[in-house]
């Protein structure tokens, strides 16, 4: 069973609307959680990184939240734009893995339509 | 300006052939990685090198052989290609001693085995 589960698997939203993506993880102990954006045909690009002591972090219209107690994170996209169409991948690291090993979710596929 | 670059971007080849994918990073990082992303978009780590030394070697067929001539390069050689090797391969790099050990990904190489 994957240690990082994301929902919904895919999402279609109207341009200008907001949306929230969910990430639940079972990785323990926990070092940090990252959200990556992957455009079609490109490599993942980091949006936010949070340690267990951080509850929220923003990057422009992207806001990530983290509840380390319930092992849940969300990524909120505000006032979506067509360029937000991408896969959003939740990634968790554990000190048990060594800092160079990551546990990946399968991604939330977001399509923004005009 | 490209931080992590890969060549070629596309690779189409026949079953049984041997091929190589090259990766270079100009970020001065000490660690490099190879990931495989299958048709379901799931990223799986294959190898990781720290200062030219292999530190992660997941359950990957020994037909796959990484080579790191120096810290800035990590090439992937694949022998006797099989249909199941068709995927997108991503190179990444990071500085393990960094606060978050953030990984920067290359643009990917789409390998198609016919």
Per-residue pLDDT tens for B16-51? 999 999 999 999 998 999 999 988 778 888 988 888
Q: Are strands A108-113 and A86-93 parallel, antiparallel or unpaired?
A: antiparallel
- Residues in chain A with CB shorter than 8 Å from the CB of B102 are 34, 46, 49
Give the up-direction half-sphere exposure of residue A80: CA atoms within 13 A in the CB hemisphere: 22
Closest chain A CA to residue B38:
A106
Residue of B nearest to A4 (CA): B42
The pLDDT assigned to B49 comes to: 87
Q: Which of B113, B99, B82, B95 is nearest to B28 (CA)?
A: B95
- CA A29 – CA A62 distance, rounded (Å): 26
Q: How far is B52 from chain A (nearest CA, A)?
A: 14
pLDDT in tens, A7-60: 999 999 999 999 999 999 998 888 889 999 999 989 999 999 998 889 999 999
- Find tokens 């660690």 and name the residue: B31
- Token pair 């219209």 is found at A61
> What are the tens digits of pLDDT across the range A55-113?
999 999 999 999 999 999 999 999 999 999 999 999 998 776 555 567 899 999 999 99
B23 token code pair:
């990766």
Spatial distance between the Cα atoms of A10 and A20, rounded to a whole number of angstroms: 12
pLDDT at B95: 87
Other Cβ atoms within 10 Å of B91 Cβ, number: 29
Cα distance from N-terminal residue to C-terminal residue, chain B: 34
HSE-CB of B113 using CA atoms within 13 angstroms: 16
Q: How far is B107 from chain A (nearest CA, A)?
A: 4
- Among all chains, which residue has been given the structure tokens 């690009």? A45
């Amino acid at each position: 069973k994957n240690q990082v589960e994301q929902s919904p698997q895919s999402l279609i939203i109207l341009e200008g609307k907001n949306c929230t993506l969910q990430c639940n993880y079972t990785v323990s102990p926990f070092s940090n959680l990252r959200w990556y954006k992957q455009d079609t045909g490109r490599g993942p690009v980091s949006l936010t990184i949070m340690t267990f002591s951080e509850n929220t972090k923003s990057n422009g219209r992207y806001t990530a939240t983290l509840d380390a107690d319930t092992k849940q994170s969300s990524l909120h996209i505000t006032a979506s734009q067509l360029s937000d169409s991408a896969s959003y991948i939740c990634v968790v690291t554990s000190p048990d893995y060594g800092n160079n090993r990551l546990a990946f979710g399968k991604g939330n596929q977001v399509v923004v339509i005009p | 300006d490209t931080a992590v670059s890969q060549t070629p971007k596309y690779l189409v080849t026949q079953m049984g052939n041997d091929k190589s994918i090259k990766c270079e990073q100009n970020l001065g990082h000490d660690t490099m990685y190879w990931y495989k992303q299958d048709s379901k978009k799931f990223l799986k780590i294959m190898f990781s090198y720290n200062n030219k030394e292999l530190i992660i070697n997941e359950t990957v067929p020994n037909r796959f052989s990484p080579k790191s001539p120096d810290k800035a390069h990590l090439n992937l050689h694949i022998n006797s290609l099989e249909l199941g090797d068709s995927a997108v391969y991503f190179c990444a790099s990071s500085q393990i001693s960094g606060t978050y050990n953030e990984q920067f990904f290359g643009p990917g190489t789409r390998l198609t085995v016919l």
